[in-house]
Structures are given as C-alpha cells and as structure tokens.
Structure 1
C-alpha cells in the first residue's frame, strides 16, 4: 500500500570553500608548494607576487603604499599578453580554454629546471648486467621476463610455471621450466648478492655461498641456514649448540656472520631514495626560558588576485550590449576571480588554524619544549586542544597527523605529543609516554643473555608506582617495535 507523508531532516553540507580549506589544512608544508603551483597553472586569475616581481627592483615603486597590491603599467601589459579576452571571445570551443595557456611563453624562472642526480634503479642495474652476457635471443627474453617479475625486495614470488606461461602468451617464446630455472640461476649470480631468491632461506644461502667456502664459520653458517633456520629465527641458541656441537663463542661468530647478510637485496640501491623528506611546519625557539613559535615561511605564500582580470571583468560586465559569447566570457572571468579569492582565503585560514593549534599544543606541553624530556609530557588528547581553541576535534586531528615542529631537541610529528593518561599510586595522572620511556630505559639496560619478560617489566613499573597490567606492558612494547624477551636474547 502506497502512502505519502512529510518529514523534516536536518542536514549539514560542506560548501566548496570549506572542502577546499579542509584539503589544504591536511597538506604538509613539503607538498604545499606543489599544490599552490597546480592552482597557479589552473587559474590565470591567481598570481604569486614573489614570482611575478622576482627580477624587478623595488625602486620601481618608490611612492607605493606597502599595503597596496604591486601593480603598474608594465604588469598590466604582461598580464594582458598572458590572457587576451578578445581571443577568448573569438574561440568557438569555449569548453577547452585550458589548452590555450599551454601555448604562451613562460617566465624565464619557470624554464629553469632543477638538476636531478642520475642514478640507476635496481631493475636498470640488473638489466645492464643481463645485456653484458653472451646469450641467445631466447635466453635473453627469459632473463628479461625474470627481472621484470622480481618484486621491490629483489625476490621472485611467482612460480616458474607462471613465468613459462607469460613467455608463451606475451612474447610468443616457448620455453621449458628447466630453461627458466637455468636462467634464474644465472640472474641469482648478479649483484646485489641474493637477488632472484624465492625465499629468505634461498636469499641467505646465495649470499653465503658467494663468500670464502674454506672458512669454517661460513660452512657452519650455511649449515644453520639450510637445516636450522627456524631455530635461528626463534633464537633457540641452546638447541643450536647441542645440535651442531658448538660452543657459545663459535655460535656467536656464526650468528654474527648471518646477521651481516641482506634479507632484502632489492632495497640496497633504493635506501637513500626512499627516505622521506621532512620539512618542519613550525619552529620553536627557547629564548632564555621563553618559547617563541614561528610558522614555516613556505606556509605563507604571497598570493594576490590578478588586477588585469578584475579590470577585465568590470569592463565587460558594464558593456552595453552582451551577446551569448560575451555573457559566457564574463561568467568565465568571474568564476576564475572567485576561485582565486577562495584559494587565497583558504590559505590564510590554513595559516591561522595551524598557528592557533600549534600555539595551544606548545602552551599545554611547555615543560617538554623547554627540556625535551619525554617524562615532562603531560597526558593530552585531541579534545583538550579542540576545547582550548574552540574548533572541532577533526580539525585538530588533520593538523596533528601530518605536521612537524622543529625544536632545539629534535623534529617531532605533532601526533607524538598526544597520549593517554595513566594514574599512579599517589593519584597523579601521567602520560603513557612517560611509562614507555621507563620501559625503553629498562629494556636498554637489561642483560641481553637474560632479557626481561613482560611479567618482570610489569613488576618493575609497579615498584615505581605505575599500576599497569601485563597486557598493557605488552601493548606499549609492541607500539615501540620492541620484540618479546626471547627474541631480544643475545649470546
């Protein structure tokens, strides 16, 4: 049976400006410059003052008010050359205006390319070694297919049968599994050692067999990896000593030899390239006990709305006669002007929100920023800062999850200052960061031949006045990437 009824709903929708601000807020400083450049390319009504006047001396504007937009006849001419509304009006394809700007000349500064260090990638290095071998066309195709099938760690995870099928279907090369196996052994002889392995065990054995076979330590290391890898990874050293009839000193030498091997040969050439570049969003300086907070200058670009676009809009908007193309042109220019104003406002709002949030965090954790001691960190959750600055928790979260602050004691992710509260025997609330620091200190000082179990660490914390359950100690240890006691054991 069909029925009609009326009901009211309260919905909240984000405006395009709010969405733009949210996206900009979570962008870290290292990516903000790229985001601004993208906006500058997409919107000709938006200008970067620092780029527009980078080659012009300040003497050109002797009588200019400092608060006034930089503007003169030469600028007007340059901007008019960059975008001619008359050309736009003569264009029948109004929906493809974006392609027009690619034809114009760029600023000399924009033509300068950043020099990039040329480095061979892991796969290019293997391909170069393959090119130097005297191989038949068939073997070369097989070798190329194997190299292309390696993962980033340098391992071959695909079965030989799958490679044979790939060769047949994609390259029309009919090969037997034995031929692929033989070519894989050739590639396993390439540098870096261990490449082309199908398991960790095979990777370690490839590297050990490239060493001096006459060395008895190498021979015993090969025996451990071949027959006792599980015991080795679980650090069952007593069982290894009995099974291999070795003393503790001999086993220690064997273990040290195995630990020198690279379990991920594919990463060896990419380590430097994979390091993340961290650019701090804030700087905190200690001036005789007074903390001074500053925002990274990259977060405050000198943007303005194009003066020529504003005049262009006023001129055509006041025109006596307006045909269809004229109206569309006015609408286009207005859209670009509005978009430029929204972007500038969003950037300014981003700056204010960043400073407001970071200042509140600095005041809350003042003692930590003065000393750099984790024990001085107070319990602090997102709601504490959100209540202080009168903003939503999600806003504070966006700032904290992607922003860094540089202090005299190091560079920190803002998220690291937030922690849960733990109550001591005296009823005082302390940060779980303090507890983690104490755990880290005790584990660092432990006898590695007899590491401290979680139960013992729990007793140590209770003696210090921290009533924490063993499962909580285990959780904190895992958060600090510290293995269990058995895996911390050393000879």
Structure 2
C-alpha cells in the first residue's frame, strides 16, 4: 500500500467549556448544585454569593465578643454611651474605666447576654431558638445493651461473654452467627464452655428491647410473646405453637391448614393474629440511624384564577454576582491575566445558572399544561406523556428533557413528585384512546383498597374490572403494576 499525504475538511461537534458546564449544571440535583457552587466559590475569588446561609448566624469578634452578623454589610449598632464613629476596639488609657479590670468583665458579660442584638441584656421570648443547636448523639444498640449488662450484677467473665454476644448482633438485633462459630473463634486458653455461651445468650435475650438476641424470626416472636403482658394462657400457648412450628403457614395465611393441624377455630386464629401483630420483628431497628432525608422542591405549583401557576422555589436559587472590587481592578488593567480568565468563568457560571433555572421552569410549565387533569383530579386522571412530546414543544433535545426531569422535584397540592413521575407509557382503551400507566396503577390501588378483606380481588378480577371501564389490560400487567405498588397477592390479603 502506497503512503501519501492528503488534506481533508470535515465538520464535527466540539463541546466548549461553557457548554460542558451548562450541561453539567443542568443534570445536577439541588444538593449537588449547592456543593458545586461552594467549591467554585472557594476556587474563584471573583465570584461571591449574596444569599450566604451564615449571614444571620452568631459570630465571634477578634476580641472574643459575640456579634450578630446582619448580612447586608451594615455595622452592628454601637453600645449605649458610645458614639457611632468611635472605634470600639481602641485601647483605653491605663487606669481609665476602673482600677482592676472589673469593667472589662462587665462588658464581656453584657456581650454574652446580648444574643438578640438588643441593649440592656433584654431577652426575647424566642432567643433560645436563635442559638445554634447541636444534635445529641443517639444511643446505639450495643451501648444500650452493654449498659444493661453492667447493671445485672453478673461476674466479670459472664459480662465479657455477654458483650461478646452483643458484638455479634446485627442492626436488627439478630444473632446471625451460630454459637458454635463464636465458640470456635475464642482462644483455647480461655477455656470457655459452650454452656457458658448459651447462658450469655440467654442473658442478652432477657434484656430490653424484647426479642433481641434471637437467631430467627420465629425465636424473636416467641421471646416477645412469652413476655407480653395481658395475654390469656390458652392464646399464648397457641401463639407460641404457631410461631415456633407453623410460622410459614401463618405468614401465607393458610388458615385452613392451621385449623386442621391445631384443631382450632377462626376466633382462636383472630386472637393469635392480634397477639402477633403487637410483636416487633426487628427489635434493634429503633436504635439505628433515623436521620430523615428531606427533599426541597425546585418548582412549586399553585392554583390560580385561570388555572395553575408554576413558579421556581427561591430557596434553591443561589444568588451570585461578580465581585465589584476585582472587576474594577480588571478594568483598570491592574490585575494578572489569570484573574481575567476567572472573571470570564464567573460570568459563564452566572449565565449558565440563569439558563438552568429557566429551562427547569419551561419544562415544568409544559408538564403542568399537559397534565392539568392530574392537578385537578389526582393520579387517576394522569394522561400518557413521553419525553419527545415535551422536547418537540420546547424545541429541545430529549436528552436535555431527561437531564431536567432527573432529581428535580415539583411541589403540588397532591404532594411532592419528581418530574419524571409525570411521564408514563400508555395503554389502549376500547374507545381507541390511551390511558396512562400511572392512572392504571392508581385505579388498582383504589380497587384493592376498597375490596372485601375476606374476599379480596384477584389479578384476573382486577383486569376484568378495568376492562369494564374500557381499559384493555392483561392479568400479568396487573400483577406487574400491583408488585410495583407493593401490594401483596390475593392470598396474603385475605383475612379471617
């Protein structure tokens, strides 16, 4: 093959840094966006934020006094008896204002009591809420059980073995590792007998919460039933017999088999069911991390006179601007070339932030326009919607709509929803129209919620009832939607 040199012209798409930043900001969630902005503010001194969340927090001055920042650049009010133009930190002549520094202590005491920025040490009724609050450390399951072991008065060896068992518990309070394996891990020179480990396990199982230290769900329920007060003896015995030997039948609601095997009637099973429902199958879960994850909406939908109004949430919109001092230095040519690049980056970020929220608002308005029936009547009135429909309406690409609707939330009168919630596939109707899969799931939830517990609806019956309403849907599709709604099958929804 002969080698040669050729010149060729072609066109290709190149993503500029500004376009790459715009795409990145568009796909970030609210939390990720604020983290990104904080990092950019640290790296770029020409960019500053107007809505600093620490503007109104309590801060310490250089001399140790407490100052409440106003956040608008104004100086704090001068103390009584001091002129506005006087320097608060100016040193006083020696001997003035006291002979032994007592005035300094008095001034410091007044500063400590002036949390609300009011003179005279006056406190408002809610000044306690204005102080920074620290979250108390929650007690773990291991700490809770160890404290109880120390109060039992057992010996040092027994207490050490009990703590060994406690360390082997999982987050739900179960002992998943067999005692034989725990015994095999212990050094031989300790001469720990298996009976000692069993006694340590029994000690742990006697602690609070009831059911901790169980090796199975049946043992956990049995421990709680044995210590449950106010249960008749006959019902307690039957409940223990069921959870220890027939728990799978009881969970699958095989009541006919249970009545035949235990020679009992429906009334006995109802009493046992009431006792088992009082038990907690996860006794240690209450000591786990219960930190709630809060979702802040990006868009808020409210009812207006002419329909529905869509507005951006101002709490999630950071207010950015270019630092005026550095900008003036750049205009006068008194700065380096690097600051010129940082100025351009700051302008790009402000522009891309504005474009991000404008795009979110446009997409949200288009969604509300097409899903008006949902906002008026609920999920049963949801219509089919795909990304291409919104993209064609706004003149955007489908990938842009996908980025906008991911991890962006809308606050509506019916609750908080991700923007992707309003998009769904369609199911044909007998009239030739289309029904949204979201509306069908809402109808399934309504039908199962209003069914007779003694005679629940099967998937075939639900499909038949939906067909009577003009929605052609197969039984397996009903089963798929029911499982997505976390609705148990008909055998598990049946009650006595």
TM-score higher than 0.5: yes
Separation in structure 1 between the aligned mates of residue 203 and residue 341 of structure 2, nearest angstrom: 62
Separation in structure 2 between the aligned mates of residue 141 and residue 255 of structure 1, nearest angstrom: 39
More helix by share: 1
- What residue in structure 2 maps to residue 397 of structure 1? 402
SS at match of 2:303: strand
Matched, 1:361 2:372: no
Per-residue deviation at 1:409?
Answer: 2.8
Matched, 1:203 2:208: no
Q: Compute the TM-score of the two structures, normalised by the length of structure 2.
A: 0.75
Contact 2:145 2:208 in 1 (8 A): yes
Cα separation, partners in 2 of 1:125 and 1:13, compared to 1, 3 Å: farther
CA RMSD of aligned residues (A): 3.7
The Cα offsets for residues 13-66 of structure 1, whole Å up to 9 and x where unpaired, read as 7555555444443444355445544443454443212339764587979xxxxx
Residue in structure 1 matching 2:283, options 261, 265, 270 = 265
Residue in structure 2 matching 1:252, options 258, 262, 270 = 270
Residue in structure 2 matching 1:446, options 441, 444, 451 = 451
Separation in structure 2 between the aligned mates of residue 211 and residue 409 of structure 1, nearest angstrom: 41
The Cα offsets for residues 357-409 of structure 1, whole Å up to 9 and x where unpaired, read as 1111111112222x142232110122222222233333323333322222223
Separation in structure 2 between the aligned mates of residue 176 and residue 313 of structure 1, nearest angstrom: 80
Which runs of no fewer than 5 residues in structure 2 stay unpaired?
57-68, 76-116, 118-129
Which runs of no fewer than 5 residues in structure 1 stay unpaired?
62-107, 320-329
Contact 2:435 2:471 in 1 (8 A): no
The Cα offsets for residues 215-270 of structure 1, whole Å up to 9 and x where unpaired, read as 32122111100110111111100111111111101111101211221111222244
SS at match of 1:218: helix
Q: Compute the TM-score of the two structures, normalised by the length of structure 1.
A: 0.76
Per-residue deviation at 1:312?
Answer: 5.7
- What residue in structure 2 maps to residue 29 of structure 1? 30
Separation in structure 2 between the aligned mates of residue 411 and residue 485 of structure 1, nearest angstrom: 30
Separation in structure 2 between the aligned mates of residue 135 and residue 18 of structure 1, nearest angstrom: 69
- What residue in structure 1 maps to residue 383 of structure 2? 378
- What residue in structure 2 maps to residue 226 of structure 1? 244
Per-residue deviation at 1:356?
Answer: 1.5
RCO (CA 8 Å, sep 6+): is it higher in 1 or 2? Answer: 1
- What residue in structure 2 maps to residue 482 of structure 1? 487
Residue in structure 1 matching 2:353, options 341, 347, 352 = 347
SS at match of 2:406: helix
Contact 2:373 2:382 in 1 (8 A): yes
Cα separation, partners in 2 of 1:428 and 1:311, compared to 1, 3 Å: same
- What residue in structure 2 maps to residue 436 of structure 1? 441
Residue in structure 1 matching 2:172, options 141, 153, 177 = 153
